[in-house]
Chains A and B, each alone.
Chain A
Amino acid sequence: MADTLSKLQDVFRDVFEDDDLVISRATTAAQVSAWDSVMHVTLMMAAERAFKLRFKSGEVTGLKNVGELVDLIDRRLGG
């Protein structure tokens, strides 16, 4: 889980072009500047690429925070 969060942090930094960005399980879209609905799609696709998996649209629209995204990735990776 810690690995997932750490890898996800790299994805966030890449997508939001911010090398100082630090995320935690409690981070929400409201706390990250520019994390709007359009960037959300880009972020999810970048995460798909990084973790080599495919999300369903129903999975990525209901996420409340980074923690739920980490759990989703771990679940999909069978972790």
Chain B
Amino acid sequence: MSFVDTDFLLFFPVVFIGYWLLQKRRWQNIFLLLASQVFYGWFDLRLPLLLLAVTGMNYGAAILVDRHPEQKGRILAAAVLLSVVNLCTFKYFGWFAAEIIPKLVGPEEAGRIAALHVALPLGLSFYTFHNLAYTIDVARGRLRVRHDPVDYFLYGSYFPQLVAGPVERPQNVLPQLESERYFDWSRVTSGMGLALWGGFKKVALADAISPYVDLMFLHQDPSWAMVWTGVLGFTIQAVTDFSGYTDIARGTSRMLGIELMDNFAHPYLAATPMEFWTRWHISFSTWLRDYVYMPACFSDSVRDWVTIPFTGEWSPFWNTARALAITMLVSGIWHGSTANFILWGAYYAVIGTAYAAVVAKLPKKWKKDGRWRYLTVPVMFGFTLFGMHIFRQPSVPVLLRHLTLNPLGGTPEQWTVSASMLGLCAYAALPLGLAIVYERFLAPRVKDAVWFLPVRTTVWAVFAVAIFSSVRTSSGDFIYFQF
């Protein structure tokens, strides 16, 4: 079930009350494990079987690594290969059936294969990465193996972060699942506030702007202003939708006494592409950093295999550029099989490398001057907008056509539509701006004021009313469900 389904509004209170009534950690974990299977099975009854298979494979692989350390390289390679094959089978079957199979077999056979309709199971890539992190860390000697199946299977299938992250780390979650949790009213209210804020961002902001963004991108002959106000709309929709999901996940988990990692830190305030990736989808970016970028930087096989033309030796700059290209390519392919995602990955590799080259040349005093960000943040936001355009537009020819549009062109009706879109963007961005002001400037000063509690409760009530009044019209889908 989705966080913004009415089913979840009934499911979670039952889980919350049952969980805290159980009191003992062992029973709480068994209860949460069962609840997680119900949550996932609500989408499709077959899904928990796949989840248990992925989790069980990693649970077993780590035990094998521990028992046969001399074979750990092979066991880890097998676990990674199985995970990648399983993920790719589901993720790219549609693309393979449509693009490759018809070229290999006759149309009748290709039609039969395409009719299998193998859809990507929700959250598969998230829990594949989440489980794989455990196996890799055990094999690298960074984590001790876990033998308790209840604790591990709960780590592998914990419902708040199951279908769209955060892509958690075993070092953060497993110790919490292995410790007693005590009911703490302040954590419960704090978690409830975070979940309400997340729900508000999703149903009152992202879902409000989403249909209009879709219309802008579906328009056959848009003006320049329509294209870019549509892109701006998607940029705001993406962050409200995805960070909304994360906040509900973190908030509900906090109410159960388990803290999940933060996934967003005002990404549109980044001054460079590298900083952007430390603020956007942080859990996945750090996963890529630790399990793709770092090995790509330091692996002998990558260093020796992918040589750099015209350079006699590997320099730190080109070595990191090469690792960044590999990482962003993996990220692009992970997001989808269409050409725009590959282009999107390449785009971030190129601007990341270009920024690194330019920043290295800038005078030191500029970089240390905080005012420098007044220029660099808007410039980076421009690059982010362009990246979002590539990300959202599946047709590369259409994308290229958009780049040739005249900025002053368009009919009066198209300018009116663009102005309306801009107004919608302002509506959706305003709460995000207020949240930054509150977080950075107000919260530290007013938290102890006598009026703080009633004001905060009123704001939460507004969020709750907005959620309950919109939840029936919400699509229930989050953008990142498709990945």
Q: Which residues of A contact B299 (CB under 8 A)?
A: 56-57
Report the minimal beta-carbon distance from A55 to chain B, rounded to whole angstroms: 6
Q: Which of B141, B286, B300, B315 contacts A54 (CB 8 A)?
A: B300
CB closest chain-A residue, reference B299: A57
| Interface of A (DSSP majority class) | helix
B294 touches A57 (CB 8 A): yes
B142 touches A57 (CB 8 A): no
Tier of interface size on chain A = 20 to 34
* B29 lies within 8 A of chain A by Cβ: no
CA distance A62 to B293 in the complex (A): 15
Report the minimal beta-carbon distance from B314 to chain A, rounded to whole angstroms: 8
CA distance A57 to B274 in the complex (A): 19
B294 touches A17 (CB 8 A): no
Report the minimal beta-carbon distance from B142 to chain A, rounded to whole angstroms: 6
| Interface of B (DSSP majority class) | helix
* B452 lies within 8 A of chain A by Cβ: no
A41 touches B297 (CB 8 A): yes
B298 touches A56 (CB 8 A): yes
Report the minimal beta-carbon distance from B365 to chain A, rounded to whole angstroms: 10
Q: Which of A36, A41, A42, A48 contacts B294 (CB 8 A)?
A: A41
A38-B274 contact, Cβ under 8 Å, with A57-B295, A62-B142: yes
CA distance A42 to B286 in the complex (A): 16
CB closest chain-A residue, reference B316: A45
Chain A interfacial positions (CB closer than 8 Å to B) = 17, 36-38, 41-42, 44-46, 48-49, 54-62
Chain B interfacial positions (CB closer than 8 Å to A) = 140-142, 274, 278, 286, 289-290, 293-295, 297-300, 303, 315-316, 319-320, 323, 364
Known: A37-B278, A54-B300. 12 other contacts (CB 8 A): A38-B274, A38-B278, A41-B294, A44-B297, A46-B316, A48-B316, A49-B315, A49-B316, A54-B303, A55-B298, A57-B295, A60-B298
